[in-house]
Structure 1
Amino acid sequence: MRRPNILIVDDEVSNIEIISAILEDDHEVCFATSGEEALQVARAELPDLILLDVLMPGIDGYEVCRQLKADAVLADVPVIFTTALGDQEAEVKGLELGAIDYVTKPVAPVILRARVRNHLDMKRMRDELAELAVTDALTGLGNRRCLETRLAQEAARLAARGEMLSVIILDVDFFKRFNDLYGHAEGDRCLTMVAAALNRAMHRSNHLAVRYGGEEFACILPGLAHEEAMEMARSILTRIQALGIPHSASDIAPHVTVTAGVATAACRAEVEPQRWIVAADRQLYAAKAAGRNTVSGRFYDAVALAEL
């Protein structure tokens, strides 16, 4: 089982050593000695919980917390303030900024371990509930909400370095006819098999396949260049044809096929994540107009994508 990752932020190395010694038996520990470094490490490590000192030179803990909670990727990471401050006003300010708890130094090992464990348990339960809310009950893939959330997170993360993001939207060809001919139970079985094939095509841990709605599916492919995304879309078409699901009501093949649209662009902070969906959807319709059971795609520059 993966051990939770704790980020300790304190400008005093001795404090980091003390807290690390308390937690390292049950947790992975990383650290930062300034507010600026804390934000960098948090974005790189994506910790499960952050222990954050309040009083630091430069960016103090309050400002670090504010920036963490404003970051779409890090907003849900629990923050526990650790400080020698003992006044109620300081505690209230930290909680109002989004911290989940407050621990005064010198820390008591038993209390610190208990609070960290409790907040990690609560985070795990919240994550499990959130996972249910973004999971499609039929296929087990993510649902539309999952797509929108993950797309926003990845676009924000990739925009920091102007990296590529590709999105595929695909549609089962003549699916209404399939349902009418074979019945809804077979329709559900068809969608489940298509979803499984789609999921197997995701070769990187940060690539995601979701059920977008009805017989439509989508893939989020962070860091994938356009030709790579086009090749993946073609391989998905081949995988689904290889399932050999009979479809005698199709105009293009005796078995189930799909049509796909691909959109790729370098991420920019000013471009809304939803633009990738709009672009991929346009390419899907272009592929349908070209006869279905094919792929249409385009690489967009930031201006063209933003204007869609």
Structure 2
Amino acid sequence: MNPPRILIVDDETSNIELIAEIFTEDHEVLFATDGIKALELATTTDPDLILLDVMLPGLDGFEICTRLKAEPHVSAIPVIFITGRDDTATETRGLALGAVDYITKPINPQIVRMRVSNHIELKRARDRLTQLATTDGLTGLANRRRFDEVLECEVQRHRRSSAPLTVLMLDIDHFKLYNDTYGHLRGDDCLRAIARTIEEALLRTTDLAARYGGEEFACILPNTGTSAAVTAIAERIRTQVMALKIPHETSPTAAYVTVSLGLTTHYCTASTQPQQLTAIADKQLYVAKAEGRNRYALDGLVVEPLHGRPHLPSQIR
């Protein structure tokens, strides 16, 4: 297991050095001297815990804590206030904002170390429980619950950033026939192999692959909107599944297991709802299947597997 990562936020370098000395031997220690840098590090480095001074130039500790708790990606990171203000009102305010503890200066190194250790242990236990609750037991991918949670967060985030968000839905072609022919144990092996292939085809850590249900999978692709980028991902998944060469002798469309994909890209607005994106991507998936399977459809255009040229669905040509 990686050593715990702690983010120290204090505008006094002497305080940072003092606190860092307590943890450098067996923790990864990061630091920031202002609120903007603290928020940046919190969102990009995923610390296990934040030690946060109340009195800071610009954004004070209370404002930083408020912003952290409002951001779904970092809201679960425990925050401990460390401050020279030893009064009930300040402590109450900090805890009310979501901090897990409040330590006054001058600090006692042993007490700080024990409190930090306890809160990191609790966080990691919660993380393990969350992972169990949000992971598909068969494939190891995110489950439907996790997919829905992440999509909700990404829609909210993309409303603010004005960046494009892409949702991909994928279905294994003629999977019922596959199970009927080879049995459910082989079917489970097929699902696991395709899950690994989808996960390997997503090259960024910010992308999410999930088992949506049965033989259907779904992906969330943040900040992805150019047709070249979107189609490259879809084609990579499609061709890499074919490269597995999983025999499917009863398939009406191919000698091996193939997949069909539907994709949609949106610039999220205040009215955009997560279920709208999955519904549109699912509709595109059925367009791809109606056009012959082993291909993908992106917002009304279908790309066939042989020549790769997009065209309109046959029913509207």
Corresponding position of 2:108: 108
CA distances 1:15-54 after superposition (whole Å, capped 9, x unpaired): 2232223223333333333334433332333322111122
Counterpart CA distance in 2 for 1:270 and 1:66 is 25
Aligned: 1:209 with 2:221: no
Over 3 Å counting, the alpha-carbon distance change for 1:236 and 1:37 in structure 2 is closer
Bigger mean CA offset, 186-195 vs 138-147 = 186-195
Corresponding position of 1:253: 254
One-letter amino acid of the counterpart of residue 172, structure 1: I
Q: How does 1:117-266 map to 2 (within 5 A)?
A: 117-157=117-157, 160-224=160-224, 225-266=226-267
Q: Contact (CA 8 Å) 1:169, 1:217: kept in 2 or not?
A: yes
Corresponding position of 1:305: none
Counterpart CA distance in 2 for 1:232 and 1:298 is 15
1:85 Cα shift?
2.4
CA distances 1:112-139 after superposition (whole Å, capped 9, x unpaired): 1222122112111111111111111111
CA distances 1:176-219 after superposition (whole Å, capped 9, x unpaired): 23223333222222212221222222222333221111110112
Bigger mean CA offset, 128-137 vs 185-194 = 185-194
Bigger mean CA offset, 180-189 vs 256-265 = 180-189
Corresponding position of 1:302: none
CA distances 1:258-284 after superposition (whole Å, capped 9, x unpaired): 100122234556634444322321211
CA distances 1:273-306 after superposition (whole Å, capped 9, x unpaired): 444322321211211221211111139xxxxxxx
Bigger mean CA offset, 154-163 vs 247-256 = 154-163
SS at match of 1:50: strand
SS at match of 2:299: strand
CA distances 1:59-111 after superposition (whole Å, capped 9, x unpaired): 33223222211111111010001112223343233222211111111111111
Q: CA RMSD in A?
A: 2.4
**Where does structure 1 lack aligned partners over 5 or more consecutive residues?**
300-308
Corresponding position of 2:291: 290
TM-score w.r.t. the length of structure 1 is 0.87
Corresponding position of 2:306: none
Q: Contact (CA 8 Å) 1:210, 1:218: kept in 2 or not?
A: yes
CA distances 1:149-201 after superposition (whole Å, capped 9, x unpaired): 23334444555543333222100112223223333222222212221222222
Bigger mean CA offset, 48-57 vs 131-140 = 48-57
TM-score w.r.t. the length of structure 2 is 0.84
One-letter amino acid of the counterpart of residue 180, structure 2: D
Counterpart CA distance in 2 for 1:115 and 1:269 is 41
Of all paired residues, the percent bearing the same amino acid is 50
One-letter amino acid of the counterpart of residue 229, structure 2: E
Aligned residues: 299
Q: Contact (CA 8 Å) 1:73, 1:157: kept in 2 or not?
A: no
Over 3 Å counting, the alpha-carbon distance change for 1:281 and 1:15 in structure 2 is same
Counterpart CA distance in 2 for 1:238 and 1:198 is 11
Q: Contact (CA 8 Å) 1:166, 1:226: kept in 2 or not?
A: no
Counterpart CA distance in 2 for 1:43 and 1:240 is 34
Q: How does 1:67-78 map to 2 (within 5 A)?
A: 67-78=67-78
One-letter amino acid of the counterpart of residue 38, structure 1: A
Counterpart CA distance in 2 for 1:150 and 1:230 is 22
SS at match of 1:51: strand
1:247 Cα shift?
2.4
Corresponding position of 2:39: 39
One-letter amino acid of the counterpart of residue 265, structure 1: H
**Where does structure 2 lack aligned partners over 5 or more consecutive residues?**
301-317
1:57 Cα shift?
4.5
Over 3 Å counting, the alpha-carbon distance change for 1:29 and 1:260 in structure 2 is same
Counterpart CA distance in 2 for 1:204 and 1:35 is 28
Counterpart CA distance in 1 for 2:212 and 2:24 is 41
